[in-house]
Protein backbone atom coordinates (compact mmCIF):
# COMPACT_ATOMS: atom_id res chain seq x y z
CA UNK A 1 0.00 0.00 0.00
CA UNK A 2 1.10 3.57 -0.66
CA UNK A 3 -0.31 6.94 0.41
CA UNK A 4 -1.55 7.73 -3.09
CA UNK A 5 -3.97 4.79 -2.79
CA UNK A 6 -5.86 6.77 -0.17
CA UNK A 7 -6.00 10.25 -1.76
CA UNK A 8 -8.32 11.85 -4.31
CA UNK A 9 -10.98 9.19 -3.96
CA UNK A 10 -13.91 11.35 -5.07
CA UNK A 11 -15.33 11.03 -8.58
CA UNK A 12 -17.61 14.09 -8.43
CA UNK A 13 -17.12 17.57 -6.95
CA UNK A 14 -17.62 17.56 -3.19
CA UNK A 15 -19.83 20.63 -2.90
CA UNK A 16 -22.61 21.27 -0.42
CA UNK A 17 -26.07 20.50 -1.72
CA UNK A 18 -27.90 18.24 -4.11
CA UNK A 19 -25.86 16.39 -6.73
CA UNK A 20 -27.57 14.73 -9.72
CA UNK A 21 -26.37 11.17 -10.33
CA UNK A 22 -28.64 10.69 -13.35
CA UNK A 23 -31.86 8.71 -13.85
CA UNK A 24 -33.64 10.78 -11.17
CA UNK A 25 -31.27 9.75 -8.41
CA UNK A 26 -29.54 12.34 -6.26
CA UNK A 27 -27.25 12.60 -3.29
CA UNK A 28 -27.16 15.47 -0.83
CA UNK A 29 -23.59 16.22 0.26
CA UNK A 30 -22.24 18.11 3.29
CA UNK A 31 -18.55 19.01 3.25
CA UNK A 32 -16.25 18.53 4.99
CA UNK A 33 -17.72 15.14 5.82
CA UNK A 34 -16.41 15.24 9.40
CA UNK A 35 -18.35 14.77 12.64
CA UNK A 36 -22.07 15.28 11.92
CA UNK A 37 -21.62 16.42 8.32
CA UNK A 38 -23.40 13.48 6.72
CA UNK A 39 -24.82 12.71 3.29
CA UNK A 40 -28.32 11.65 2.25
CA UNK A 41 -30.07 10.45 -0.90
CA UNK A 42 -33.15 10.79 -3.08
CA UNK A 43 -34.52 8.12 -5.43
CA UNK A 44 -37.37 9.12 -7.78
CA UNK A 45 -39.40 7.28 -10.39
CA UNK A 46 -42.50 8.83 -11.93
CA UNK A 47 -44.55 10.48 -9.22
CA UNK A 48 -42.96 8.62 -6.29
CA UNK A 49 -39.83 9.23 -4.28
CA UNK A 50 -37.83 7.62 -1.50
CA UNK A 51 -35.37 9.41 0.76
CA UNK A 52 -32.27 7.81 2.25
CA UNK A 53 -31.43 9.34 5.64
CA UNK A 54 -32.02 12.77 7.16
CA UNK A 55 -29.51 15.15 8.73
CA UNK A 56 -28.25 16.08 12.21
CA UNK A 57 -30.79 18.79 12.94
CA UNK A 58 -34.13 19.93 11.58
CA UNK A 59 -32.92 23.16 10.00
CA UNK A 60 -30.34 21.33 7.90
CA UNK A 61 -32.92 18.70 6.96
CA UNK A 62 -35.47 21.33 5.89
CA UNK A 63 -32.84 22.97 3.66
CA UNK A 64 -32.13 19.60 2.09
CA UNK A 65 -35.81 18.85 1.50
CA UNK A 66 -36.32 22.23 -0.16
CA UNK A 67 -33.54 21.51 -2.63
CA UNK A 68 -35.08 18.11 -3.35
CA UNK A 69 -38.49 19.67 -3.98
CA UNK A 70 -36.96 22.10 -6.47
CA UNK A 71 -35.23 19.28 -8.34
CA UNK A 72 -38.15 16.83 -8.29
CA UNK A 73 -41.40 18.72 -7.53
CA UNK A 74 -43.70 15.92 -8.69
CA UNK A 75 -41.92 13.03 -6.99
CA UNK A 76 -41.50 14.92 -3.71
CA UNK A 77 -45.28 15.29 -3.42
CA UNK A 78 -45.43 11.55 -2.81
CA UNK A 79 -42.58 10.37 -0.58
CA UNK A 80 -43.42 6.69 -0.30
CA UNK A 81 -40.80 6.01 2.38
CA UNK A 82 -37.77 7.24 4.29
CA UNK A 83 -34.95 4.81 4.99
CA UNK A 84 -32.60 5.24 7.94
CA UNK A 85 -29.31 3.52 7.13
CA UNK A 86 -28.39 3.32 10.82
CA UNK A 87 -29.09 4.85 14.22
CA UNK A 88 -26.64 7.76 14.51
CA UNK A 89 -28.42 11.09 14.91
CA UNK A 90 -26.73 12.68 11.91
CA UNK A 91 -28.71 10.23 9.76
CA UNK A 92 -32.08 10.36 11.51
CA UNK A 93 -32.57 13.50 13.65
CA UNK A 94 -34.50 15.14 10.80
CA UNK A 95 -36.99 12.28 10.40
CA UNK A 96 -39.92 14.35 11.63
CA UNK A 97 -39.41 16.85 8.80
CA UNK A 98 -40.19 14.27 6.11
CA UNK A 99 -43.81 14.03 4.99
CA UNK A 100 -44.15 10.28 4.76
CA UNK A 101 -46.08 7.62 6.63
CA UNK A 102 -43.36 4.99 6.39
CA UNK A 103 -39.88 5.03 7.91
CA UNK A 104 -37.85 1.90 7.27
CA UNK A 105 -34.80 0.59 9.10
CA UNK A 106 -33.33 -2.66 10.29
CA UNK A 107 -34.75 -3.97 13.55
CA UNK A 108 -31.34 -3.52 15.18
CA UNK A 109 -31.30 0.14 14.13
CA UNK A 110 -34.73 0.75 15.67
CA UNK A 111 -33.54 -0.75 18.95
CA UNK A 112 -30.41 1.43 18.96
CA UNK A 113 -32.28 4.53 17.86
CA UNK A 114 -34.65 4.17 20.81
CA UNK A 115 -31.68 5.00 23.06
CA UNK A 116 -30.39 7.96 21.02
CA UNK A 117 -31.22 11.29 22.65
CA UNK A 118 -31.18 14.68 20.89
CA UNK A 119 -32.10 16.20 24.27
CA UNK A 120 -28.92 14.80 25.78
CA UNK A 121 -26.88 16.29 22.93
CA UNK A 122 -28.54 19.68 23.47
CA UNK A 123 -27.74 19.52 27.19
CA UNK A 124 -24.11 18.57 26.54
CA UNK A 125 -23.69 21.51 24.17
CA UNK A 126 -24.85 23.83 26.97
CA UNK A 127 -22.57 22.17 29.53
CA UNK A 128 -19.54 21.92 27.25
CA UNK A 129 -17.90 25.25 28.24
CA UNK A 130 -17.65 23.93 31.82
CA UNK A 131 -16.31 20.49 30.83
CA UNK A 132 -12.67 21.34 30.20
CA UNK A 133 -10.81 19.63 27.32
CA UNK A 134 -13.66 17.17 26.76
CA UNK A 135 -16.13 20.02 26.36
CA UNK A 136 -13.79 21.85 24.01
CA UNK A 137 -13.54 18.76 21.82
CA UNK A 138 -17.29 18.16 21.99
CA UNK A 139 -17.98 21.70 20.78
CA UNK A 140 -15.41 21.30 18.02
CA UNK A 141 -17.28 18.20 16.81
CA UNK A 142 -20.92 19.14 17.43
CA UNK A 143 -21.16 22.85 18.19
CA UNK A 144 -22.38 23.70 14.67
CA UNK A 145 -25.65 21.79 15.10
CA UNK A 146 -28.90 22.74 16.81
CA UNK A 147 -30.27 19.82 18.81
CA UNK A 148 -32.91 21.85 20.61
CA UNK A 149 -36.37 21.26 19.25
CA UNK A 150 -35.46 18.05 17.42
CA UNK A 151 -38.57 15.86 17.51
CA UNK A 152 -37.51 12.25 17.63
CA UNK A 153 -39.38 10.05 15.16
CA UNK A 154 -38.62 6.35 15.02
CA UNK A 155 -38.96 3.88 12.14
CA UNK A 156 -42.30 2.08 11.93
CA UNK A 157 -41.33 -0.65 9.45
CA UNK A 158 -38.34 -2.84 10.26
CA UNK A 159 -36.65 -5.86 8.78
CA UNK A 160 -33.68 -8.15 9.35
CA UNK A 161 -31.43 -9.51 6.62
CA UNK A 162 -32.54 -8.25 3.22
CA UNK A 163 -35.72 -6.84 1.71
CA UNK A 164 -36.86 -4.81 -1.29
CA UNK A 165 -38.91 -1.66 -1.80
CA UNK A 166 -40.26 -0.31 -5.08
CA UNK A 167 -40.24 3.37 -6.01
CA UNK A 168 -42.39 3.62 -9.10
CA UNK A 169 -40.89 0.84 -11.21
CA UNK A 170 -37.43 1.01 -9.62
CA UNK A 171 -36.47 -1.83 -7.30
CA UNK A 172 -34.51 -0.71 -4.25
CA UNK A 173 -32.62 -3.39 -2.32
CA UNK A 174 -32.13 -2.95 1.42
CA UNK A 175 -29.24 -5.07 2.69
CA UNK A 176 -28.40 -5.32 6.37
CA UNK A 177 -24.63 -5.61 6.84
CA UNK A 178 -24.35 -4.72 10.53
CA UNK A 179 -23.26 -5.02 13.18
CA UNK A 180 -20.29 -3.06 11.85
CA UNK A 181 -20.20 0.73 12.29
CA UNK A 182 -23.37 0.33 14.38
CA UNK A 183 -25.52 -2.68 15.22
CA UNK A 184 -27.90 -2.37 12.28
CA UNK A 185 -26.13 -0.84 9.26
CA UNK A 186 -28.04 -1.05 5.96
CA UNK A 187 -26.93 -0.57 2.34
CA UNK A 188 -29.48 0.92 -0.09
CA UNK A 189 -28.83 -0.42 -3.59
CA UNK A 190 -30.56 0.60 -6.82
CA UNK A 191 -29.36 -2.11 -9.24
CA UNK A 192 -31.00 -0.69 -12.37
CA UNK A 193 -29.16 2.62 -11.97
CA UNK A 194 -25.91 1.22 -10.57
CA UNK A 195 -26.00 3.34 -7.41
CA UNK A 196 -25.56 2.36 -3.77
CA UNK A 197 -26.02 4.50 -0.66
CA UNK A 198 -23.81 3.01 2.06
CA UNK A 199 -24.56 5.00 5.20
CA UNK A 200 -21.55 5.01 7.50
CA UNK A 201 -20.11 1.80 6.14
CA UNK A 202 -18.07 4.29 4.13
CA UNK A 203 -16.29 7.45 5.25
CA UNK A 204 -14.38 8.75 2.23
CA UNK A 205 -11.09 10.44 3.16
CA UNK A 206 -12.13 10.48 6.79
CA UNK A 207 -11.27 7.88 9.41
CA UNK A 208 -14.15 5.42 9.93
CA UNK A 209 -15.31 4.81 13.48
CA UNK A 210 -15.96 1.30 14.73
CA UNK A 211 -18.67 1.73 17.36
CA UNK A 212 -19.96 -1.84 17.15
CA UNK A 213 -18.02 -4.40 15.10
CA UNK A 214 -16.91 -7.07 14.56
CA UNK A 215 -14.49 -5.64 12.05
CA UNK A 216 -14.89 -8.70 9.80
CA UNK A 217 -18.53 -7.74 9.18
CA UNK A 218 -17.41 -4.30 8.02
CA UNK A 219 -14.77 -5.77 5.71
CA UNK A 220 -17.42 -8.15 4.33
CA UNK A 221 -19.73 -5.17 3.75
CA UNK A 222 -17.02 -3.50 1.67
CA UNK A 223 -16.67 -6.71 -0.35
CA UNK A 224 -20.43 -6.76 -0.88
CA UNK A 225 -20.33 -3.19 -2.26
CA UNK A 226 -17.38 -3.95 -4.54
CA UNK A 227 -19.24 -6.96 -5.96
CA UNK A 228 -22.20 -4.75 -6.91
CA UNK A 229 -20.10 -3.10 -9.64
CA UNK A 230 -21.99 0.19 -9.41
CA UNK A 231 -21.06 3.48 -11.05
CA UNK A 232 -21.71 5.67 -8.00
CA UNK A 233 -21.04 4.85 -4.37
CA UNK A 234 -22.56 7.43 -2.02
CA UNK A 235 -20.90 7.25 1.40
CA UNK A 236 -22.34 8.34 4.71
CA UNK A 237 -19.62 10.99 4.88
CA UNK A 238 -17.33 12.40 2.22
CA UNK A 239 -17.38 12.59 -1.53
CA UNK A 240 -19.12 10.29 -4.00
CA UNK A 241 -16.71 7.54 -4.97
CA UNK A 242 -16.37 4.24 -6.82
CA UNK A 243 -14.79 0.91 -5.95
CA UNK A 244 -11.41 2.57 -5.44
CA UNK A 245 -12.85 4.42 -2.46
CA UNK A 246 -14.44 1.25 -1.12
CA UNK A 247 -11.13 -0.59 -1.35
CA UNK A 248 -9.40 2.25 0.50
CA UNK A 249 -11.79 1.90 3.44
CA UNK A 250 -11.44 -1.89 3.33
CA UNK A 251 -7.64 -1.61 3.35
CA UNK A 252 -7.81 0.78 6.31
CA UNK A 253 -9.91 -1.69 8.31
CA UNK A 254 -7.60 -4.60 7.53
CA UNK A 255 -4.57 -2.47 8.44
CA UNK A 256 -5.83 -1.28 11.82
CA UNK A 257 -7.02 -4.79 12.67
CA UNK A 258 -3.58 -6.24 11.87
CA UNK A 259 -1.71 -3.51 13.72
CA UNK A 260 -4.02 -3.58 16.74
CA UNK A 261 -3.76 -7.35 17.11
CA UNK A 262 0.06 -7.17 17.11
CA UNK A 263 -0.04 -4.69 19.95
CA UNK A 264 -2.76 -6.57 21.83
CA UNK A 265 -0.67 -9.73 21.73
CA UNK A 266 2.41 -7.81 22.92
CA UNK A 267 0.54 -6.61 26.01
CA UNK A 268 0.01 -2.96 25.08
CA UNK A 269 -3.11 -1.25 26.41
CA UNK A 270 -5.68 -0.04 23.90
CA UNK A 271 -4.80 3.62 24.31
CA UNK A 272 -1.05 2.84 24.08
CA UNK A 273 -1.74 0.96 20.84
CA UNK A 274 -3.85 3.80 19.47
CA UNK A 275 -0.97 6.22 20.06
CA UNK A 276 1.59 3.81 18.62
CA UNK A 277 -0.07 2.77 15.33
CA UNK A 278 1.45 4.56 12.33
CA UNK A 279 -1.31 6.33 10.38
CA UNK A 280 0.95 8.06 7.84
CA UNK A 281 -0.68 6.21 4.95
CA UNK A 282 -3.91 8.00 5.88
CA UNK A 283 -2.39 11.38 6.70
CA UNK A 284 -4.77 13.20 4.36
CA UNK A 285 -7.85 11.75 6.08
CA UNK A 286 -9.78 13.72 8.69
CA UNK A 287 -10.55 12.80 12.30
CA UNK A 288 -7.52 10.58 12.89
CA UNK A 289 -8.27 10.60 16.63
CA UNK A 290 -11.02 8.04 15.97
CA UNK A 291 -8.25 5.45 16.12
CA UNK A 292 -8.84 5.50 19.90
CA UNK A 293 -12.37 4.15 19.48
CA UNK A 294 -11.36 1.74 16.74
CA UNK A 295 -8.58 0.13 18.76
CA UNK A 296 -10.78 0.00 21.84
CA UNK A 297 -13.48 -1.83 19.90
CA UNK A 298 -10.94 -4.22 18.37
CA UNK A 299 -9.46 -5.02 21.80
CA UNK A 300 -12.97 -5.70 23.08
CA UNK A 301 -13.47 -8.06 20.14
CA UNK A 302 -10.17 -9.87 20.80
CA UNK A 303 -11.15 -10.34 24.47
CA UNK A 304 -14.63 -11.58 23.59
CA UNK A 305 -16.22 -8.72 25.53
CA UNK A 306 -19.52 -7.17 24.51
CA UNK A 307 -19.70 -4.14 26.81
CA UNK A 308 -18.29 -0.99 25.18
CA UNK A 309 -16.09 1.38 27.16
CA UNK A 310 -17.88 4.37 28.68
CA UNK A 311 -18.55 6.87 25.88
CA UNK A 312 -17.16 9.73 27.99
CA UNK A 313 -13.79 7.99 28.30
CA UNK A 314 -13.66 7.35 24.56
CA UNK A 315 -14.33 11.02 23.81
CA UNK A 316 -11.69 12.05 26.35
CA UNK A 317 -9.18 9.84 24.57
CA UNK A 318 -10.14 11.28 21.19
CA UNK A 319 -9.83 14.80 22.60
CA UNK A 320 -6.32 13.97 23.76
CA UNK A 321 -5.28 12.51 20.40
CA UNK A 322 -6.78 15.44 18.51
CA UNK A 323 -4.67 17.92 20.46
CA UNK A 324 -7.75 19.61 21.98
CA UNK A 325 -6.84 18.43 25.47
CA UNK A 326 -5.83 21.69 26.98
**How does pLDDT run across 200-227, given as a tens digit for each residue?**
999 999 999 999 999 999 999 999 999 9
- In words, the CATH class of domain 3-322 is alpha beta
Mean pLDDT of the 280-294 span: 97
3-state secondary structure the chain: CCHHHHCCCCCCCCCCEEEEEECCEEEEECCCCCCCCCCEEEEEECCEEEEECCCCCHHHHHHHHHHHHHHCCCHHHCEEEEECCCCCHHHCCCHHHCCCCCEEEEHHHHHHHCCCCHHHHHHHHHHHHHCHHHHHHHHHHHCCCCCCCCCCCCCCEEECCEEEEEECCEEEEEEECCCCCCCCCEEEEEHHHCEEECHHHCECCECCCCCCCCHHHHHHHHHHHHHHCCCEEECCECCCECHHHHHHHHHHHHHHHHHHHHHHHHCCCHHHHHHHCCCHHHCCCECHHHHHHHHHHHHHHHHCCCCCCCHHHHHHHHHHHHCCCC
pLDDT in tens, 265-283: 999 999 999 999 999 999 9
Omega before 63 within 30 of 0, i.e. cis: no
Partnered with residue 176 across adjacent β-strands are: 186
Asked which of 55-69, 212-226, 299-313 is least confident by mean pLDDT, the reply is: 299-313
The structural domains of the chain, with segments of one domain joined by +, span 3-322
What is the pLDDT, as a whole number, of residue 3?
Answer: 84
pLDDT in tens, 85-114: 999 999 999 999 999 999 999 999 999 999
- Is residue 83 within 8 Å of 174, Cβ to Cβ? yes
What is the pLDDT, as a whole number, of residue 132?
Answer: 92
Mean pLDDT of the 28-34 span: 98
258 φ, ψ (degrees, to nearest 5) = -60, -45
Mean pLDDT of the 129-140 span: 94
Task: Inform me whether the pLDDT recorded for 53 exceeds 70.
Answer: yes
Mean pLDDT of the 167-176 span: 98
- Is residue 64 within 8 Å of 26, Cβ to Cβ? no
292-311 CB burial, b ≥16 within 10 A, e <16: bbbbbbbbbbeeeeeeebee
Task: Inform me whether the pLDDT recorded for 179 exceeds 60.
Answer: yes
Task: Inform me whether the pLDDT recorded for 326 exceeds 70.
Answer: no
Q: What is the mean pLDDT of the chain?
A: 96
- Is residue 90 within 8 Å of 113, Cβ to Cβ? no
Mean pLDDT of the 62-68 span: 98
Sort residue 179 into left (φ over 0), alpha (ψ -120 to 50) or beta.
Answer: beta
- pLDDT band at residue 325 using 50, 70 and 90 as cut-offs: low
Task: Inform me whether the pLDDT recorded for 4 exceeds 90.
Answer: no
Mean pLDDT of the 155-163 span: 98
Task: Inform me whether the pLDDT recorded for 167 exceeds 60.
Answer: yes
What is the pLDDT, as a whole number, of residue 116?
Answer: 85
Amino acid sequence: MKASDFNNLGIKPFNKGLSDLGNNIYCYLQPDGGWGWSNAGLIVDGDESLIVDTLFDEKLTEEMLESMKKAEPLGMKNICALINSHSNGDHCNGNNCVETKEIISSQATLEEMSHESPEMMAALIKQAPEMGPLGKYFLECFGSFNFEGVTKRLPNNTFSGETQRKVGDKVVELIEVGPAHTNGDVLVHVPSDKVVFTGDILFIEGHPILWAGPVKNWINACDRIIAMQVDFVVPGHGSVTDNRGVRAVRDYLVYIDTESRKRFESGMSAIEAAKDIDLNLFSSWGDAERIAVNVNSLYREYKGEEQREEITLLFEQMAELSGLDG
